[in-house]
Copies of this chain bind each other. A is one copy, B any other.
Amino acid sequence: MGTLGAPQLTGPALRPGQPRCLDCPIRLQAVCAQADEGELRELERIKRYRTYPAGQTIASSGDAPAFVGSVVDGIALISTLLPDGRRQTVGLLLPSDFVGRPGRSHIEYDIVAATPVTLCMFHKPEFERLLHRNPRIERRLLEMTLDELDAAREWMLLLGRKTARERVASLLLMVARRNAALSGALPYDGQTIPLRLTRQEIADYLGLTVETVSRQISALRREGVLALHPSQRIEVRSVSRLTEASGDAA
C-alpha cells in the first residue's frame, strides 16, 4: 500500500503544469541546491511531481520504494511503532527535505502526509546513476544526512531529558525558527505559526500523550507566552519566555 511511486503517478512526463526547476521554491535548500545548469537539466528530465492528501501513507515500513524525492510543499511524518502499538515520530519532513535512501532497498519507517504534500520525485535507479556521475549532488546528500543526524540527536536530548513543558516549548520554537528562516529572519514576538499537526501528532513526536500536550499548551497560553487562534494557528507572544520555557536558555 501507498508505495512511494506506485503506478499512479500524477501524469505523464513534463506536463505543462509541472514547475521548472529554476522557479522551484526549494531550489536553494534541497538536494539539488548546488546542482549546476547541466545537472539541473538532467534532474528536470527525470523528475515527476506527485501530491498526497492529508492522512495518506506515502510509504510503509518494509516497502521497497521505486522513487526518492524532495518535499516541495506540506508536512510529512516519519514514524515507527512498537509491536504493541506505541508510536514514536522520529522525523518531520518539511519543504526541501529529502525522502528516501539511495543505496538502500527497503525502508524501516512509515512516512505519512500530515497535510497535503507535494513531492518532486525521481526514479530511484536513475537518481542513483546520476549521483554516481555527479559527486556534487552526492556530497550535498551527505551534508543533508548529517543535518538530519544532528536534528535526530537534538531530539534525543529532548526525549531523554526534557520535561513535558520544555518539550512543547522546544517544538514550537523549532517550527517558529524554521518558518522565520524561510524569509531569512529570526523568530519574533507576535509571529504566528500555522502548526498544521493534530495534538496526537505532536504527542507522538514529543514522546507524550495528547492530554499532556494539551495541558502544557493551555498553561503557556494562560501565562501569556502563547495565544491560540482559529485553525491551529499559534501566536508566539514572547520568544524570550518561550525560549526560557524550552530549557535551552542559559
Instruction: Please list the residues of chain A having a beta carbon within 8 angstroms of any beta carbon in chain B.
Output: 78, 80, 82-84, 86-88, 90-91, 101-104, 108-109, 132, 135, 138-139, 141-143, 145-146, 148-150, 152-157, 159-162, 206-207, 247-250
Contacts and interface: CB of A to CB of B under 8 A. Distances in A.
Q: What is the copy number of this chain in the assembly?
A: 2
Contact of A103 (B139, B248, B249): B139
A231 to B, nearest CB: 28
A247 B141 CA distance: 33
Contact of A139 (B87, B138, B161, B206): B138
Nearest to A103: B143
A156 B88 CA distance: 7
Contact of A159 (B86, B108, B156): B156
20 contacts: A82-B157, A82-B162, A83-B249, A84-B247, A86-B161, A88-B156, A88-B160, A90-B157, A101-B146, A102-B142, A103-B142, A108-B150, A135-B135, A138-B138, A138-B142, A149-B149, A152-B153, A152-B156, A159-B207, A160-B206
A213 to B, nearest CB: 13
A109 B139 CA distance: 23
A157 B250 CA distance: 28
Interface centre among A78, A108, A207 (most CB of B within 10 A): A207
A238 to B, nearest CB: 19
Contacts of A78: 153
B248 A82 contact: yes
9 tightest A-B contacts by CB? A160-B207, A159-B159, A152-B152, A90-B153, A88-B160, A88-B157, A86-B161, A159-B160, A90-B156
A79 to B, nearest CB: 9
A138 B237 CA distance: 45
